[in-house]
Each structure stands twice: as C-alpha cells, then as structure tokens.
C-alpha cells in the first residue's frame, strides 16, 4: 500500500523538534497556567533546571510518567531525548525502567485502573508487521475497555475507515489501497502511537528437522504439519 501511495505519504508534513510549536499547541489546552492555576504559563521561564512546569486551572501539574524496558538502547534513547526537551514545553517527564512483563501488564491492563490509580502514561515498544493490514482489533472503539484496544482509542471517523477496509472483497486491492491511505491521513492527525522501530525475528532449529520452511508471512504454527525428521 505504501508503494501505491508513496507520493501522498511522502507529502505529509514531517515532524521535527519544535518546542515553540509545542508550547503554542499546549497553550490551546487546559495546561496553560503556572502552579497557581491563574497566571499564564511563560515558555521563556521553562529553562534547564528551572522546575517550571505547566498546570491546569486546578493547579495539577502536566507530568508524563514513562515506562521502558531496561537494558535496551531504545529506552535509553527515549530517555535522553525527552529529558533534554520535555521541560522546554513545561512538561515534567519521568522514566521508570523495569522488566518486560511489568511493562506489558501496565500497558495492556491500565484501562482497569482509575485515572488516579494509573501510574504510567507512555511506553516504548516495537512495531510488528503482519500479512494482512487489519487494525480493527487494536484500535476500533468496539474494543474499548479491553486489552485489545490498549490505547483506548475512540474515534468514529477512524472506526468507519477500518470497517470499510474489512468489508472489501480480497480481490479489491486498489480500493483497499485507497482506504488505507484514508486511514493513514486520519492516523496522522490523531497520532495515538508514534513508530520507533520494528522487531527482527529468527527461527532456529536443528539441521535434522525437515519441512521447517518459515517465511516473513508464515511462522511455525502455519507449517507445523509439514515438519518432520
């Protein structure tokens, strides 16, 4: 689909580090005050070590608590970038590093917690690719309040696009590609997830094993009946 729509995708505005724009956008939200909940936030005061952060009218601080897997370079890079820049937009950003099981538990099941109970706001994980592009089970509002829709995304426009993709006949490839581009445009506006990196997987087996013919589109579960010694 990307090849079909490369020109359109490449024409999307590119994201770049822009703390001035970040402050302009945050000024349009509830997080536009100093700690007293009255005085307008002044980006000029948000300097290194200032401890000067955005608050809402109730005096609540704009804070992002991030959880990342320990011992991987991606988490380290996320930490470096956010610690260097988040405070310039008045955001207090903290990171917790822990084991992967703890990350997944907080990522998938935070919907069971109240806003006060929820400890973490963001996570870093990898992107995987499947044979069929079907984001329905990950982002459709049908799955609100479940671990499937882990971002608890609820957007009627995106819902409608995903359903149209699923209802096409498998032979309607050009139409699917057109709707896929609609999905990308809407996704770009919402941006509930930012791509960081993708995984690489390896299948390792003894040389005596025959019929283990995995591909990027078929794993051992697909070819298990062909495996023999």
pLDDT in tens, 213-229: 888 777 778 889 999 98
Query: pTM of this prediction?
Result: 0.84
- Sequence-distant (6+) residues with CB within 8 A of 175 are 168
Q: What is the average pLDDT score of the chain?
A: 93
Measured in degrees and rounded to the nearest 5, phi and psi for residue 198 equal -120, 155
pLDDT in tens, 1-49: 999 999 999 999 988 999 999 999 999 999 999 999 999 999 999 999 9
Sort 136 into a burial class: Cβ within 10 Å, 0-12 / 13-18 / 19+. middle
**pLDDT value, residue 88:** 97
Average pLDDT score over residue span 172-194: 95
**pLDDT value, residue 66:** 97
pLDDT in tens, 73-117: 999 999 999 999 999 999 999 999 999 999 999 999 999 988 889
pLDDT at 202 over 90: no
**pLDDT value, residue 129:** 78
- According to DSSP, residue 226 is labeled G
Nearest to 85 by CA among 97, 77, 75, 93: 93
Compute and round to an integer the Cα radius of gyration of the chain: 22
What CA–CA distance (Å, rounded) separates 28 from 41?
12
**pLDDT value, residue 219:** 75
pLDDT at 64 over 80: yes
What percent of the chain is modeled with pLDDT above 90?
79
Measured in degrees and rounded to the nearest 5, phi and psi for residue 71 equal 80, 15
**pLDDT value, residue 212:** 87
Ordered structural domains, the chain, with CATH: 14-125 (3.10.105.10), 128-193 (no CATH)
**pLDDT value, residue 47:** 95
**pLDDT value, residue 53:** 98
Sort 101 into a burial class: Cβ within 10 Å, 0-12 / 13-18 / 19+. exposed
Residues facing 65 on adjacent strands: 94
**pLDDT value, residue 80:** 96
What CA–CA distance (Å, rounded) separates 83 from 66?
11
pLDDT at 131 over 80: no
Instruction: Answer whether 163's CB lies under 8 Å from 136's CB.
Output: yes
Average pLDDT score over residue span 117-132: 87
What CA–CA distance (Å, rounded) separates 147 from 107?
9
Nearest to 220 by CA among 126, 209, 135: 209
């Amino acid at each position: 689909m990307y090849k079909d729509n490369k020109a359109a995708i490449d024409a999307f505005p590119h994201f770049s580090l822009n703390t001035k724009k970040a402050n302009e956008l945050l000024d349009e939200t509830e997080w536009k005050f100093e700690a007293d909940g009255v005085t307008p936030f002044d980006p000029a005061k948000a300097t290194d070590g200032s401890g000067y952060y955005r608050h809402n009218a109730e005096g609540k601080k704009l804070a992002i608590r991030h959880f990342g897997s320990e011992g991987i370079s991606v988490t380290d890079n996320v930490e470096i970038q956010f610690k260097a820049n988040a405070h310039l937009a008045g955001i207090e950003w903290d990171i917790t590093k822990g084991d992967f099981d703890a990350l997944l538990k907080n990522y998938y099941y935070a919907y069971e917690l109240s806003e006060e109970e929820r400890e973490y706001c963001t996570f870093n994980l990898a992107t995987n690719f499947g044979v069929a592009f079907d984001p329905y089970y990950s982002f459709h509002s049908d799955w609100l309040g479940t671990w499937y829709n882990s971002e608890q995304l609820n957007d009627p426009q995106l819902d409608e696009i995903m359903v149209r993709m699923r209802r096409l006949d498998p032979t309607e490839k050009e139409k699917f590609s057109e709707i896929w581009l609609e999905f990308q445009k809407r996704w770009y506006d919402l941006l509930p997830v930012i791509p960081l990196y993708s995984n690489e997987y390896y299948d390792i087996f003894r040389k005596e094993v025959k019929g283990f013919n995995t591909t990027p589109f078929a794993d051992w579960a697909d070819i298990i009946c062909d495996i023999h010694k």
